[in-house]
Every structure is written in structure tokens, then in C-alpha cells.
Chains A and B, each alone.
Chain A
Amino acid sequence: MKRTGVFVCHCGINIAGTVDVKKVAAELAKHPGVVHAEDYVYMCSDPGQNLISKAIKEKKLDTVVVACCSPTLHETTFRNVAKIAGLNPYRCEIANIREQCSWVHRDRSKATQKAISITRSVVEKVRRNESLEDVSVPVTKRALVIGGGIAGIQASLDIANAGFEVILVERSPSIGGHMSQLSETFPTLDCSQCILTPKMVEVAKHPRIKLMTYSEVQEVSGFVGNFKVKILKKPTYVDPDKCTLCDECTKVCPIVVPNEFDMGLTGRRAIYIPFPQAIPATYTIDEKACPGMFDTAIACGKCADVCKPGAINFDMKPEVVEVDVGAIVVATGYDLYDKSMMAEYGYGKYPDVLDGLQFERLLSASGPTRGRILRPSDKKEPKEVVFIQCAGSRDPELHWPYCSKICCMYTAKHAMLYKHHVHDGQAYIFYIDIRSGGKNYEEFVHRAVEEDGVLYLRGKVSRVFEDNGKLIVWGVDTLTGKQIEIAADMVVLAMAIRPSKGTEELAKKLKIALDKDGFLAEAHPKLRPVESMTSGIFLAGAAQAPKDIPEAVGQASGAAAKAVAILSQERLFHSPTVARVLRNLCTGCAMCVNVCPYEAISLKEGKAVVNEILCEGCGTCSASCLRNAIQVKNLTPYHIQEMIRACLGG
């Protein structure tokens, strides 16, 4: 017979207000095997904790139930109390009689009865708990950062500066991400590249950062502290060490394709450098575009002919590099919502309907127009520009329900900068609300309105269409209720922020979850915002949710700190409530192997075997087993069965 102690917390009046805690303690005292039951005003307080440890020692308790608030809050607290008092922490369980009882009911007697049922079932559970020791694993002291945007750059630098090796993987030929495309940044209006490039250089020069551009994560296995990652290095066909950046090759390359850096507003050659300050500073041959590459019929090779240092090597092959890392930071960033989805705003039909990033390029001194704002169609200066916010955001019916967050600010910036370039022009902004939470943001928006006379119109645009050279914008001003028609020269859509292309596939490889909108899901919306649900994998930047630069950088440093917290350990400890196989019942049908989300189960000699380090203890295996031959420690079918009986008084 067990010796169980039950401790009922009043939580001031939070519990005692609705639940008759004295009665709960009294009833539980009658429960077979319960040798001690008491109530106290705040169990989590020092005196409360002392009560528990005192009782454990004096009454020789071997199991403890604390009936109090949700286990998410004080489970650790009380398990530590038990531990210090000499009990195995897994012999202490929490009965949640606050969040799931006292706070949600009014009828005192019914709430009390329910509290008793809940506590009883937990008593029956804990009595069947075994003492467990945490599982320990060594740590590979190296981090992988996926994505070379500002978030990835920041995370890499922070981890590297903490003294750990970092492998930074970037899909495109250069790091820098979208930030490198921006003209100026709100609310300070300092030049984006001017503040970004020093960090890019720092990355390139950092002794502990291994930069792998034009590379993609192919396969991830292993677990926190011990990931194995396969990285595919795509061939650039240019040897960066030999390349002198003379740019002769692009002059002779006959192929022109849209330049993704300029968001297609200009063209680039099949051999190209994404932008002058690209890191690594070297050229890349776009194998999809280059005729010399696969279609041997047109063996071009002009670039190779003019390349004096002979940096061009058509025989370069893709290579797969396998690396061991202890932690992973995912910073894969965002793309803009595909504008072709917004037919109502005439995108695609009209060259002068642009998205935010295209407008950034127009504004950028290094952009296609060298910083002059000209209409793509006729290179004329637009005198009337309409900015449309929430294009695709906050639109649950047709597009995306969420707010893309940064559009309010960058649209204000766009309008402002437009006015700085075109003094006699007029900027209109259609908005639903203006969300300018953030340091100096509100002031920034006011500046746009007051100093630069940007005209804000509250309402949605119903339609954009062309009428002899003008873009006619139909909208409603919901404040005045008036129909509005503006004949504009240019329309700029603040498109919704989407997770970058390929985020879903990557998430699958990493076995991390996505939220309903396709962004990477954090472990807890408030308390664990930079952790994924898979331990050892952290999130930074817009891949987790739309963010502006300071937020992305902040989160990146947070993720880095989390990663460092792991890398700085010699060994890691892992919850021991993992699956166990009862070999005599197991028939080796491998259903559990099939269902395990973590590939933690394998078959050896016809029986299932659990890798305790990989196992997260979800129990999906146990429900799939027809013979209860695999069970999660301390939450076995036996525990559940007895909990059911106890709470039903049967």
C-alpha cells in the first residue's frame, strides 16, 4: 500500500472561493492509501512548500499530490520540493483544481465534488508512478542557422561571438535577404544596405562562421544536441577564389532573365552577381537560364572564353555535405503574397501596379532608376500615387486573416519618401486601421501626414482599372461614407507577408509544426516564442510571423541565446516519461514504428525498441498498439484506467 500525501491549495480565494478545500482534504483523507491530507492558503509560498517537505519526511510519504493551479505553472516547483525532501520528483503530481475547476464554476458544492473527483484520479495516477531519472545525452557544440537574412545573420553572429561554431546556410547566391533590397528603413530613414552590409562582411570574415550560400538543407535527423544535417551545395559553376569580379562575363552573356533582386523591374544575365555588395562576392551561373549548361546543342561558353582567371567551371557538380550540429535556428524569412492573387487590383495587367518591394527598388539609390521614381510603363514621374494597405491581409474570406504588421509603417515610409522625391505629387493611402505600435512609430506616421501631407483614406479599394493612361482607383471612405475615385499614375500594394517559399517542406524535414497560416509554430505563444515544438530547434524572424527589422533582430538574438544555452552544456537532460516496450506482449507488428512522429522506435529481433533520447513521450504508439505492449512511463493505460475509475467513483 502506498503512502500518499494530498495538499490542497486555497490559492487565496482563487480556489477556496468556489471549492470547499477543507472538504476536499477531508474526503481525500479517507481515500485508501492517503495517509496525509491538508489544505493551506498558498502551497507555492515558502511556508506552503515547507508543509509539504515536512509531511514527506514525518509521514514517510512516498507519493504526493498537490491540488492547486495548472501543472504548467507549479509542477516544477512542487516536484523540486519533493526532490529536496528526498522523493523522486516523478512521484509528485498536480491536480488542476483552479483553471479547470474553481475558476470556471460557481456552484460551490458541485465544484467541490468535481475537485474531489479530479484529485482522486490524480492520487490513483501518482500511486502508480515509478521513480524516474532524466535521460542524459552529450552535445555537439555547433549550430546550424538556416536562412541568411538579417535574422539569420544576427543569430549566426551572436552564436559565433559566444564562442561556438556556426554553419549558416542560404538558399540564394548571397546572404542579406530582403533587407538588402530595401531603400531606407523606418522610422529613422537610414539606408538599409549601409547598416546591413557591415554585418554581412562580419559574417564573411568570422572565424567561427562557415557560410554556405547557394545551398539547401536536404535532410535532418537526430535530436537536440545531436542533429545530423545533410546540406546540398548547388554548383555555381564559378570558382569564387579565382573570380576577380571583373564583370567581363556578364558583358558577353547573351541571356537576359528577370532580375529577382530588383523584383523583376530589370533584367540580369545568366551569369550574374545578385548585387554589388553580395556576400560571398562572386558570380553564379543560373543553370536554368544558361544555354551552355544542359542544352549542349547551343554550347555557348562565351563567359568562359572571356574569363581571364579561368574561374568558370562547367563541370562543377552538386555536392552533399553532412554536418553534426547541436542546435538549429530557422530564419527562412518571408515572401510577399503573390500579387496575381489580387486580380481586383489589376496586378499583372498593369505595369504600374507595384508591390512594396518593387517600390523599395524604385526608391533605392542602387535600384533600376538610381533612386528616381518613374513609372515602369513610360518612365514618367507619377504625380498621383495610391498606396493600398492590407492587400491580402486581414481578409479571411478571400485571402489571409492575419495582419501583416509591417505594412502600415512601410507604406507611411513609401508615401513619405515619394513626397521627398516628387514634391508636387500626391500620395493617397487606403487603410483599415493604422497600426503603429513601436518606438517612434506613431510619430513617424504623424510626420508623414503633417509634414509630407500624405492623404490617408480609411477604407478598402474595391477595384483598380486602366482608363486612358491612368489607373482608376475605386474605393470607399468609410469615415465619410463617400465613394472615392482617384485617377492615379501608380498604385502600390502592401501585399501580405507570407512564409518564404519552401517553408513547409523544410518544416517537414525538421519535424517542426506550422501554424494555421503556414508560419513556423512556436512552442508557446507567450512563454516560448523563439522555440519550436521540437527541442533544439529555434525560430527567428519573419518565418515565425510577420516582423519588422528590430523585432527580427531581437528574436534572432533570443533564438541565439537559446541555442547557446544548449551548446554550452556538456550533457543534456530529457524527460524520462518516454515509451517503454513490454517485450513479452510485443509481437513486432511495427504499428508503433509507423506512427512514431520522431522515428524513435525500431524493431530489433522482432520486438519494438525505443530510443529514449528521440522519444518525446506523446504516446501515439501506445494507442496504436493492439496489445498495450508499448506504454509511456507514468501515463500507461493502467494509469489511465485507474484515473477513469477514480474520477467516476467506480
Chain B
Amino acid sequence: MAEEFEPRIVAFLCKWCSSAGADLAGVSRMEYPPNIIPIQVMCSGSVSPLYIFSALSHGADGVLVSGCHPGDCHYIKGNYYARRRLALVKKLLEYIGLEPQRFQMSWVSATEGIKFTQIVKDLVRELQPLGPQNKLRRKF
């Protein structure tokens, strides 16, 4: 049953905002589903499209890339490059027929623990009805 399906989500969190935001969620003892596995990167701008394809091909049911809000990037403009690059990735994935919910992006600042919590909840809620991601997943 779709309700019981537990999607596995790989989240690339930038060190300075989103990972710190996730830490804040922890410090504030907020609760969110454990379906998300964080991978800390220095900046959302360092997330190559290959990482997203790779996560999907290795069986992630969803991928999240989260960085600092525009203007807040610790590295001044990394998130602007990420925004442009990953917009194309998203369009491409949808174009070949991957459900839009499978790959998402967010801006989460170091102070937005609540927002991070909410995003994870939403993601899981949206991915559950889709069931496992088998389109790009390796069969072997």
C-alpha cells in the first residue's frame, strides 16, 4: 500500500545554510520523518547534475538540493549557479518522464529549522503515493 511506502530521499545540504538549518531543527527538537539522508556539501553551487542522476540511478526515490536563499550564499553566488543549472536538470528529468516530485530544490537558511522540517514532511508526503522510483534505478 502506498501509504506504507517509505521513500528514501537523498538531500544535498549546503554546509552554511541548509545543513545549519537542519541542525537548528534538531536543536529545537522538531520532528520530521527519517526518510531523508543528508549529504553535506560546501555549497549548493557544488552540486553537479551527475550527483542527482547518480542518486536516482542508485535507487533514491527522491532527491533534494537545498541551499542558501539568493543573496545569502556564503560563497556569494554559488546558489545562483545552482538555481540555473538545476532548473535545467529538473526540466530534463520531467521531460524524459520522471515525476516532478522526485527532484526538488529549496532555499533553507540557518535560521529556518521550521521550514526545513516542513519541506521534509512535504517531500515524504508527496513521494509516498508515487511508490518506489524504478525509472532511473539500476535493475542490477
State yes or no: do A and B touch (Cβ within 8 Å).
yes
Contact yes or no, B42 A637, CB < 8 A: no
Contact yes or no, B34 A113, CB < 8 A: yes
Contact with A along B68-91 (1 / 0, CB 8 A): 010111111110011001000000
Distance between Cα atoms of A637 and B43 in the complex (Å): 14
Of A333-341, A366-374, A611-619, the one touching chain B: A611-619
Distance between Cα atoms of A650 and B133 in the complex (Å): 14
Residues from 72 to 122 in A contacting B, C-beta threshold 8 Å: 72, 96, 98-101, 103-107, 110-111, 113-114, 117-118, 121
Q: Is A533 an interface residue (CB 8 A)?
A: yes
Partner of B58, one of A99, A637, A648: A648
Partner of A104, one of B8, B51, B117: B117
Contact yes or no, A118 B42, CB < 8 A: no
Q: Is A602 an interface residue (CB 8 A)?
A: no
Known contacts A516-B69, A619-B43, A623-B47; decide if A117 and B37 are in contact (CB<8 Å).
Answer: yes
Q: Is B30 an interface residue (CB 8 A)?
A: yes
Residues of A within 8 A of B (CB): 70-72, 96, 98-101, 103-107, 110-111, 113-114, 117-118, 121, 511-516, 521, 524-525, 533, 595, 597, 616-620, 622-624, 628, 632, 635, 637, 640-641, 643-645, 647-648, 650
In the assembled complex, the CB of B91 is this many whole angstroms from the nearest CB of chain A, namely: 17
A72 partner residues in chain B, CB cutoff 8 A: 20, 23
In the assembled complex, the CB of A220 is this many whole angstroms from the nearest CB of chain B, namely: 13
Contact yes or no, A513 B76, CB < 8 A: yes
Contact with A along B8-48 (1 / 0, CB 8 A): 10100000100110111111011111100111111101111
Known contacts A616-B75, A635-B41; decide if A622 and B23 are in contact (CB<8 Å).
Answer: no
10 A-B pairs with C-beta separation under 8 A? A70-B19, A72-B23, A104-B31, A106-B31, A521-B72, A620-B43, A620-B77, A623-B45, A648-B58, A650-B58
| Other A-B pairs, 16, CB within 8 Å; known A533-B76, A618-B42 | A99-B26, A515-B72, A516-B69, A516-B72, A533-B75, A597-B76, A619-B41, A619-B45, A619-B78, A620-B46, A624-B81, A637-B48, A644-B51, A644-B60, A648-B55, A648-B59
In the assembled complex, the CB of B68 is this many whole angstroms from the nearest CB of chain A, namely: 9
In the assembled complex, the CB of A597 is this many whole angstroms from the nearest CB of chain B, namely: 5
Q: A594: nearest residue on chain B (CB-CB)?
A: B81
Q: Is B134 an interface residue (CB 8 A)?
A: no
Contact yes or no, A623 B71, CB < 8 A: no
B81 partner residues in chain A, CB cutoff 8 A: 595, 620, 623-624
Partner of A107, one of B19, B34, B45: B34
Known contacts A525-B110, A597-B76, A618-B78; decide if A99 and B23 are in contact (CB<8 Å).
Answer: yes
B contacts with A, residue count (CB < 8 A): 52
A110 partner residues in chain B, CB cutoff 8 A: 34
Query: Which of A96, A620, A640, A650 gathers most chain B CB within 10 Å?
Result: A620
B54 partner residues in chain A, CB cutoff 8 A: 640-641, 644
Distance between Cα atoms of A628 and B54 in the complex (Å): 14
Partner of A101, one of B34, B42, B43, B51: B34
Known contacts A114-B37, A637-B50, A644-B51; decide if A104 and B10 are in contact (CB<8 Å).
Answer: no
Distance between Cα atoms of A100 and B21 in the complex (Å): 10
Q: A118: nearest residue on chain B (CB-CB)?
A: B37
Q: Is B104 an interface residue (CB 8 A)?
A: no
Contact yes or no, B110 A597, CB < 8 A: no
In the assembled complex, the CB of B50 is this many whole angstroms from the nearest CB of chain A, namely: 7
A515 partner residues in chain B, CB cutoff 8 A: 71-72
Partner of B46, one of A98, A101, A622: A622
A644 partner residues in chain B, CB cutoff 8 A: 10, 39, 51, 54-55, 58, 60
A118 partner residues in chain B, CB cutoff 8 A: 37-38
In the assembled complex, the CB of B94 is this many whole angstroms from the nearest CB of chain A, namely: 20
In the assembled complex, the CB of A239 is this many whole angstroms from the nearest CB of chain B, namely: 41
Contact yes or no, A623 B26, CB < 8 A: no
Contact yes or no, B8 A632, CB < 8 A: no
Distance between Cα atoms of A575 and B85 in the complex (Å): 27
B39 partner residues in chain A, CB cutoff 8 A: 121, 640, 643-644, 647
Distance between Cα atoms of A233 and B131 in the complex (Å): 66
Contact yes or no, A70 B78, CB < 8 A: no
Q: A595: nearest residue on chain B (CB-CB)?
A: B81
Contact yes or no, B71 A618, CB < 8 A: no
* 10 nearest A-B pairs in the assembled complex, by CB-CB distance: A619-B46, A99-B26, A620-B45, A103-B26, A618-B75, A99-B23, A650-B58, A623-B48, A618-B43, A110-B34
Distance between Cα atoms of A117 and B23 in the complex (Å): 18
B82 partner residues in chain A, CB cutoff 8 A: 623
B37 partner residues in chain A, CB cutoff 8 A: 114, 117-118, 121, 647-648
Known contacts A100-B38, A118-B37, A619-B41; decide if A632 and B46 are in contact (CB<8 Å).
Answer: yes
Distance between Cα atoms of A142 and B51 in the complex (Å): 44
In the assembled complex, the CB of B42 is this many whole angstroms from the nearest CB of chain A, namely: 5
In the assembled complex, the CB of A25 is this many whole angstroms from the nearest CB of chain B, namely: 19
In the assembled complex, the CB of B41 is this many whole angstroms from the nearest CB of chain A, namely: 7
In the assembled complex, the CB of B17 is this many whole angstroms from the nearest CB of chain A, namely: 11
Contact yes or no, B23 A635, CB < 8 A: no
Contact yes or no, B73 A513, CB < 8 A: yes
Q: Is B111 an interface residue (CB 8 A)?
A: yes
A117 partner residues in chain B, CB cutoff 8 A: 37
Known contacts A597-B76, A597-B78, A632-B46; decide if A105 and B51 are in contact (CB<8 Å).
Answer: no
Q: A111: nearest residue on chain B (CB-CB)?
A: B34
Distance between Cα atoms of A447 and B127 in the complex (Å): 60
Q: B63: nearest residue on chain A (CB-CB)?
A: A644
B49 partner residues in chain A, CB cutoff 8 A: 623
Distance between Cα atoms of A650 and B54 in the complex (Å): 11
